[in-house]
Amino acid sequence: MSERIFMTDYVYALPGLPGQYEIAKAMDGHEAVFDNNSESPFFGKLDFPEELLALIRKQDLKSMREDALAAGICSWLLMNRLDIDKDELISLPLFVATGVVIEKLFARKPKVLKYFNQALMMESTVDKNNRLSRILPPLLALETLTNAAETYAAQYGGMAGENTTFGGCSLGGFYSLKEGFDQIISGNIGRAVVGAVNLSGINSYRTFSPFFQSVDHWHESPCAVFMILESESNLKARAGLNAFELTKLEAIPTIPSLFEPQEKTFRDSILNSSSSSSLVFSGAFTDKAYELDYRACTATSSNSFSWYPSYGNLGSASVLMNLLGATHFIDTKKAETVECLDRDPYGRISKVRLKKYQL
């Protein structure tokens, strides 16, 4: 019989909630970071207090994107409270999912726009190239490094085992969860760290909005989430109690099309195959798409929840954040199991089932 796998700890950062809170704070005590009258597209923003920023080396702050900074801080907070010896740490796996990696070049840096304008108007290629290469930031290659979140998570958390960074949308979060799960099952290790970050912002909007016909009221927020997966034997050995079992991880085998419209909401067959009475769902980027999802999901389960009304889409972090939502459902609504559903921008659907730990 294969090993049972549990989620035993987590740290997350959302707009207004920078990495130090139980998930209840986000689910119960929060206010929506946007309202229906807010601009579209709308993106939330992560802010970290000075005491958390002080954890990060000044040199790193120079080249850190918002998501990479959040990864470093969340990883430090998570690993700082984990009782782990050095031998385990150097073989501790780390699997991370990331979204887009380019920040808002023009929107956030008006000066850059001005200089670009001047450079592009130059007649000769020599002058143009010279000018453009001078105004591109010196740390551009680091600022746009695709594995920056993983690297900073490792640097500030110390994990140094099997690893990767999956991209670039919500299914990447499922792949990182599945890889961590499989590493424990097949690798003779007791724990793994899985994480996901979503930068969101104008580049994410540029990248994904052309997929859809209607993009009015586009809502997306940055987010970082890191969690510990643990085997039952490891959990028992340390007499851990606060745990949630991952009883099902499934990505529906699909061949998406690059040229055809994507699924707009969850199919009935997907919803009806759930054996849980409670659902946490994600996938929508717009109010209209969320309404469709909400109607479909609440028709199946009256206990349904999505982060969308508060934060919009959480991109690559959606699947892991859904799990955090599920833990709250289990704790407060006494749900036995919770089904977490995600639909990525290509219509690929993943299902994860979470269950309260019972000895």
Partner 1 sequence: MIKERVFVLDYDLISPLGVGKKDVWENIEDQKSAEDEITNFDVDGLQIRHGCEVKNGLRQLYCNEPEQLLAAMRFDRKLELLCAVYKLMNDRLLVYLEKVESGRAGVILGLGVDVFPFELLDKDILMRLGSEMDPLLLISEQMKTWSGPLNLVLNPFDMYPIYLAEKLGLAAFQKTVLTACAASTQAFILGCQAIARREVDVVLVGGTDSILNLVGLTGFSKLGVLAESDSNPGTSCKPFDVNRKGTLAGEAAGLCLLVSEKYLDRTGGNPSFEVLGHGNTLDAYQITAPDPEAKGMIRAIENALKGSGIKPEEIDTINLHGTGTYLNDPAELLALETVFGNVLNKIPVCSTKDRHGHAIAAAGIQELVVLFECMSNNMVPSTINLTHPIGDSGADFVMGTNRRTPLNIGMSNNFSFGGINTSVVVKKINQ
Rule CB under 8 A: which of 228-257 touch partner 1?
A: 251, 253-257
The separation between CA 164 and the C-alpha centre of its own chain, rounded to angstroms, equals 15
110 binds partner 1, rule: CB under 8 A = no
DSSP 120-186: HT-SSHHHHHHHHHHHS-TTHHHHT-TTHHHHHHHHHH---SSEEEEESSHHHHHHHHHHHHHHHHH
303 binds partner 1, rule: CB under 8 A = no
263 binds partner 1, rule: CB under 8 A = no
In angstroms, the CA 230 to CA 83 distance is: 13
Query: Which is nearest to 248 in space by CA: 351, 325, 122, 115?
Result: 351
Q: Of 20, 40, 155, 247, which one interacts with partner 1 (CB under 8 A)? A: 155
76 binds partner 1, rule: CB under 8 A = no
Residues of this chain, 172-201, that bind partner 1 according to CB under 8 A: 172, 175, 179, 182, 185-188
Residues of this chain, 310-349, that bind partner 1 according to CB under 8 A: 344-346, 348
User: Strand, coil or helix: what is 74?
Assistant: helix
In angstroms, the CA 44 to CA 311 distance is: 7
In angstroms, the CA 84 to CA 168 distance is: 31
Q: Which is nearer to partner 1, 205 or 307 (CB)?
A: 205
Q: Of 54, 241, 258, 359, which one interacts with partner 1 (CB under 8 A)? A: 258
Residue ranges with strand state E in 199-243: 219-220, 223-231
CB 5 within 8 A of CB 232: yes
User: Six-digit token pair at 197?
Assistant: 């970050």
Q: Which is nearer to partner 1, 250 or 336 (CB)?
A: 250
Q: Which is nearer to partner 1, 109 or 356 (CB)?
A: 109
Q: Which is nearer to partner 1, 24 or 249 (CB)?
A: 249
Q: Which is nearer to partner 1, 139 or 237 (CB)?
A: 139
Q: Of 48, 205, 281, 311, which one interacts with partner 1 (CB under 8 A)? A: 205
Residues of this chain, 115-154, that bind partner 1 according to CB under 8 A: 116-117, 120-121, 124-130, 132-133, 136-142, 144-148, 150-152, 154
